[in-house]
Amino acid sequence: MRAAVVEAMGRPPAPTEVPEPRRRPGEALVRIGAAALNPVELHIWNGHFFDGPPRPPYVIGLEGVGVVEEGERLAPGTRVRVEFVHPGYGRDGAVAEYAVAPEEPDASDRASQASVAPIGDQLDDTAAAALGVPVFTALMCLERAEEAGASLEGAHVLVIGATGAVGMVAVQLAKLMGAARVVAAGRNGERLKRALSLGADAAVELGDGLAPGELRDRFAEAAGGRLDVALDPLWGRSARAAIDAITREGVYVSFGQAASPVAELSGIPLRNRRVTVVGHSGAWATPEDRRTALARAFELAGRRGAALTLDTDEIALEQIGDAWEWLSRSAGRKLVVKP
């Protein structure tokens, strides 16, 4: 079969002929119809992920949608979503013609968790593959803010990295969860316009020359002088600016460090305004945690009569090298491979 394979550290994935995987007891063999790419795969590939360097060769792809070919609990023909957290640490991923995954979620080794679950037919393969990791990640971050004491009902929310897939979904979910004002922040002006069309009330364009103080002022102004919750996948100077802009009893949620692994923070917001700083990593959630979060997000959207939306680009397996470069440039559109 054909698959997108990383043969060695630092070498981009390439279309490769590999043996079709064999189903073991308790697993399902799935014919993949669409598989989505996620930025965390770049961190795994270049050895910067916290689990350390991956073990090539391996098939990339955290998530995919397909049909069961063989299974024990799942009947042939069942439409399913497969997820691998994370390919490269003992398991192959979903960017292949076929994949195998345990029918009961395997959380025994966090670094190589995998699961397969039936899904309905409300979404086509491309949308079903794309609206996976970004949806449950965005919801978990917003719920993390609630667990830390924030109320999203009537809240003013800042979504940094709103031009990416997780941020774009977070904008939509924040509004569905009752936020009164949502500020989208990111580098791409066109993608910020898209965030505004999907429910953001204001936008802040991040520029290289902005000092944290200037960025803080822009965040505060766009938020209308009140900021209750901030979600941030960047860390670095945006963390300092967002935390400084948050008003009393607000919550800052860090869920990445795309800009920098370190941030210089002031202690004043933590003491004088009782700002709470918390973190979230989907890598520490179990397959069941992620599955139920995905279900909650779609249930919420359904109750509100809304449809969660992501802009996607379909690509063929032969384009995987180009797609890897596009992913590294964070173009903001979800890349979905049709093996």
Q: Helix or strand or coil: residue 182?
A: strand
Determine the Cα–Cα distance for residues 144 and 279; give it in Å rounded to an integer. Answer: 8
The stretch 51-76 carries a mean pLDDT of 94
Q: Which two tokens stand for residue 5?
A: 């394979």
Q: Strand 276-279 relative to strand 251-254: parallel, antiparallel, unpaired?
A: parallel
**Residue 285 — pLDDT band, cuts 50, 70, 90?**
confident
Is residue 170 a contact partner of residue 142, using CB atoms and an 8 Å limit?
yes
The stretch 232-241 carries a mean pLDDT of 95
Same fold? 2-131+310-338, 134-282:
no
CA atoms within 13 A on the CB side of 87: 34
> What does the pLDDT look like over 17-44, one tens digit per residue?
999 999 999 999 999 999 999 998 988 9
- Residue 98, pLDDT above cutoff 70: yes
Is residue 314 a contact partner of residue 290, using CB atoms and an 8 Å limit?
no
**What amino acid occupies position 318?**
E
CATH architecture of the domain covering 134-282: 3-Layer(aba) Sandwich (3.40)
Is residue 309 a contact partner of residue 170, using CB atoms and an 8 Å limit?
no
Residues of the chain above pLDDT 90, percent = 80
Other C-beta atoms within 10 Å of 287: how many? 21
The stretch 205-227 carries a mean pLDDT of 92
CATH code for the domain defined by 2-131+310-338: 3.90.180.10
Q: Residue 107's pLDDT is what?
A: 64
Domain extents for the chain? 2-131+310-338, 134-282
- Residue 331, pLDDT above cutoff 70: no
